[in-house]
């Protein structure tokens, strides 16, 4: 392709980049390839598996509740995004108010479930 035409199409790009990418020389590396070092976009566990949090799914909700105090774990422990964490908290409160989940205890049948995260090692540091 004509370099002048390319420069007219991409006016802000310096000419040396256009010449490099337009060159057909075998010694010039191909800059059009995608970045091999690009990291995967971090996603929370619920977004990753496209899980919809529902107040009727007590088994899932109890994963985010402390077995000692019944307290809902914070975002620094669960690693959820803000949207999912807020949704989870409203759904847990909905389940608690409808009598399906305890306020201060975790249901004993869910105590042996595999854990989604390590409570002792939070993902992010926290002020507490």
Of the residues 84, 88, 96, 101, which one makes contact with Zn ion according to CB under 5 A: 84
User: Alpha helices of the chain — where are they, by DSSP H?
Assistant: 3-9, 15-22, 45-48, 58-61, 75-78, 82-97
Q: Does 85 bind Zn ion (CB under 5 A)?
A: no
Q: What is the C-alpha to C-alpha distance for residues 40 and 36, in angstroms, rounded to an integer?
A: 11
**Which stretch, 4-12, 18-26, 63-71, 82-90, contacts Zn ion (CB under 5 A)?**
82-90
- Measured in degrees and rounded to the nearest 5, phi and psi for residue 65 equal -120, 140
Measured from the CB atom, the residue of 62 and 78 that comes closer to Zn ion is 78
Q: Does 47 bind Zn ion (CB under 5 A)?
A: yes
Q: What is the C-alpha to C-alpha distance for residues 122 and 79, in angstroms, rounded to an integer?
A: 8
Q: What is the smallest separation between the CB atom of 107 and Zn ion, expressed in angstroms?
A: 25
In 3D space, the residue among 108, 106, 109 whose CA is nearest the CA of residue 119 turns out to be 106
Cα 108 from chain centre: 29
Q: Does 87 bind Zn ion (CB under 5 A)?
A: no
Taking CB under 5 A as the rule, which mask of x and - marks residues 5-44 in contact with Zn ion? Answer: ---------------------------------------x
* Interacting residues toward Zn ion by CB under 5 A: 44, 47, 81, 84
């Amino acid at each position: 392709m004509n370099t002048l035409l390319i420069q007219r199409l991409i006016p802000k790009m310096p000419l040396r980049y256009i010449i490099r990418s337009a060159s057909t020389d075998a010694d010039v590396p191909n800059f059009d390839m995608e970045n091999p070092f690009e990291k995967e976009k971090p996603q929370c566990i619920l977004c990753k598996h496209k899980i919809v949090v529902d107040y009727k799914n007590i088994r899932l909700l109890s994963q985010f509740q402390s077995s000692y105090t019944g307290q809902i774990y914070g975002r620094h422990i669960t690693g959820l995004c803000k949207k999912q964490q807020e949704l989870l908290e409203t759904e847990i409160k909905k389940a608690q108010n409808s009598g399906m989940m305890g306020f201060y205890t975790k249901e004993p049948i869910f105590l042996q479930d595999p854990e989604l995260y390590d409570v002792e090692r939070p993902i992010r540091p926290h002020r507490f």
